[in-house]
Amino acid sequence: MSLKRPEEWIDECNVAISMKYKFGVTAAFDYVVAEKLLNFVSLASNDPDYARALPRFVYEVRQIFTPDEMGSQIARIELERGEQKNMEFAEGAPARFILCSPIAPELAAQIANIMELLTETALGTS
């Protein structure tokens, strides 16, 4: 589901916080980063309202997870990408398989950029 307005990131962060406590770090991280933040970055590339809201969304995601949690989730995603890079795309495959698919290099690049945003020591705005 696509975000209909830039401010919806606030709701998505609140959902992720609830998910973290109910279902664990992995479920929350996959939801808010691999699904919502990835979609938001895509929207921000073509919409100035989303682009202006992106730094705040990234900041809030960084507040949801500890540095150790973030590091372990990023390592998990990298490991999954490495293990699955030779898998072929199958319709109906889980999102993590699609993101790691050889036919989606632009998505892999977006994930890498997001991981960099999440782990930078200082976020700048222009």
Asked whether residue 22 is domain-assigned, the answer is yes
Structure tokens at 7: 């401010």
Asked whether residue 69 is domain-assigned, the answer is yes
- Determine the Cα–Cα distance for residues 45 and 49; give it in Å rounded to an integer: 10
Q: What is the pLDDT of residue 66?
A: 92
Asked whether residue 125 is domain-assigned, the answer is no
Asked whether residue 1 is domain-assigned, the answer is no
Asked whether residue 2 is domain-assigned, the answer is no
Number of domains in the chain: 1
Asked whether residue 126 is domain-assigned, the answer is no
Range of the domain at 95: 7-119
Sequence length of the chain is 126
- Determine the Cα–Cα distance for residues 27 and 106; give it in Å rounded to an integer: 23
- 3-state secondary structure at position 43: helix
Q: What is the pLDDT of residue 103?
A: 36
Q: Buried b / exposed e across 88-104, counting CB within 10 Å, b at 16+?
A: eeeeeeeeebbbbbeee
Asked whether residue 105 is domain-assigned, the answer is yes
Q: What is the pLDDT of residue 107?
A: 58
- From first to last of its 126 residues, what are the pLDDT tens digits of the chain? 456 677 888 889 999 999 999 999 999 999 999 889 888 888 888 899 988 998 899 899 999 999 899 888 888 877 776 655 545 445 555 555 444 444 345 556 666 777 777 777 766 655
Q: What is the pLDDT of residue 102?
A: 42
Asked whether residue 44 is domain-assigned, the answer is yes
